[in-house]
Amino acid sequence: MKKLLLVFLTYIISTVSYAQILAPVKWSYGAKKIDNEQAIVFIKATIDKGWHIYSQHLADGGPISTSFKFTKSDNYILNGNTSEPKAVNKYEKAFSMNVQYFEQSVTFQQKIKLKSGQASVNGTVNYMVCSDKQCLPPEEVEFSIPVK
């Protein structure tokens, strides 16, 4: 009887633990060469229904904004800041302020100047995802994007 109870408790704990893992954002990457000296890197977030990630441009005191860190390289340099489309601007009670965020999907773009005709653009994206009911802790995701 004790063994049966132990197996049952183990099953319940593993089921509950598995159900707690949330990953409402999937990231994908790409690049397009404009010419031999310029390219655009695309960083796309696909966001599950009911969730949103935040803009890069938020006031202090609110949620964590999306940010990008690019690894320095001898093969390219960044050309300007990472751009984003127009975000939804809405008041969120949880932060007692207006915030800008994206639902469903968003593609960020970074222009680069190539030094050698091709490169591998590496870095990280740091973001926070929330729903109307909860926010998940900020997460950092590494990326590597070949530009050929």
Q: Provide the Cα torsion 28, 33, 38, 39; round to 10°.
A: -10
Supply the pTM of this predicted model.
Answer: 0.84
C-alpha pair distances (Å), 12 with each of 19, 23, 24:
11, 21, 24
Domain ranges of the chain: 25-147
Q: Tell me the percentage of the chain whose pLDDT exceeds 90.
A: 82
Cα–Cα distance for residue pair 88/105, rounded to 1 Å: 12
Average pLDDT over residues 61-75: 96
Topology (CATH) of 25-147: Immunoglobulin-like (2.60.40)
User: Which tokens sit at 107?
Assistant: 């593609």
pLDDT in tens, 82-92: 999 999 999 99
pLDDT in tens, 7-26: 444 444 544 444 468 999 99
Query: In sequence order, what are the beta bridge partners of 62?
Result: none
